[in-house]
Amino acid sequence: MNVELIYLAMLTLSGFLFALGGTGGWTFASKAWRRFGIPVALGALLISIGYSDWRTLGYLAGLTGALHLGYGDTKPWAYKFAVGASYAIPCLFLGWTWWLIGMPVVFLGLFALSNWKATEKDVVWKVAEFLIGSFIAVTLIGALQRPW
């Protein structure tokens, strides 16, 4: 199996499922795409490249829990930062990467830009959701490059 193709699948699926999970108006619980779809997809892809031990389970359990945290407009910025960080922290089961620091910065930055009047038309929230979801995979891929 070509690992680079798996990485591309991780980036694409994670971004797509995160954005799909933020799409309202569905009778089928749309948040499930984000909360369960991303861990299932990433888990299957991790297993396909040989990651199938307790560390992978720890990562997937942590990510599933993190994806259940709400971060809407009414939440304080410190809470939103914690949510962004929680998307990266489960990667510590697998390894270290500097992308761990970037995840909450990207999360907050995209959230702020999509809500700021001067940039809200440029940083469409659906695009921001896709980028946040893809960045979850960026952090994972980075951790896989520097395993414990």
| Percent of the residues in the chain that have a pLDDT greater than 90, as a whole number | 89
What average pLDDT does the segment 57-72 reach? 96
24-49 per-position pLDDT tens digit: 765 456 889 999 999 999 999 999 99
Query: What are the backbone angles phi and psi of residue 147, rounded to the nearest 5°?
Result: -70, 160
Query: What are the backbone angles phi and psi of residue 95, rounded to the nearest 5°?
Result: 175, -170
Task: Please list, in sequence order, all residues whose beta carbon lies within 8 angstroms of the beta carbon of residue 32, skipping any fewer than 6 positions away.
Answer: 21
- Name the pLDDT band for 120 (thresholds 50, 70, 90): very high
Q: Where are the domains of the chain?
A: 3-145
What average pLDDT does the segment 138-147 reach? 97
What average pLDDT does the segment 126-138 reach? 97
Q: Which residues pair with 95 in a beta bridge?
A: 147
- As a residue count, the chain comes to 148
68-107 per-position pLDDT tens digit: 998 988 999 999 999 999 999 999 999 999 999 999 999 9
Kindly state the greatest CA–CA separation across the chain.
47
Among 69-73, 111-115, 118-122, 140-144, which stretch is predicted with the lowest mean pLDDT?
69-73
Task: Please list, in sequence order, all residues whose beta carbon lies within 8 angstroms of the beta carbon of residue 64, skipping any fewer than 6 positions away.
Answer: 35, 36, 39
Residue 142's pLDDT is 98
Residue 146's H or E segment, with its range, is none
